[in-house]
Amino acid sequence: MMGNWGLFGMSMMWLVWLPLIALFVWFVIRITRNNENGQNNGRNAIEVLKEKFAEGEISKEEFEERIRILRKS
């Protein structure tokens, strides 16, 4: 039985469960948004290649080849 709590006790349970459910939903949304952005924080592949070329990580020939491949697809 519910004892002396009655409907008040049931409504108090909702006050406990609703914030927990909302917190779980917020957490899932935050995780999925982070996965959509990936590691490059929203930059596209050409911008990443430009940065790598500017920093000297890749040669001019490699840069041009990768740009050509990206623009084909």
pTM of the model: 0.43
- What is the tens place of the pLDDT at every residue in 35-53? 555 555 556 888 889 999 9
More confident site: 69 or 3? 69
Query: Using alpha carbons only, how large is the chain's radius of gyration in Å?
Result: 26
Ordered by start, the domain boundaries in the chain are: 1-37, 43-73
Could you give the CA distance from residue 18 to residue 64 in angstroms, rounded to a whole number? 54
Q: And the tokens for 38?
A: 């990936």
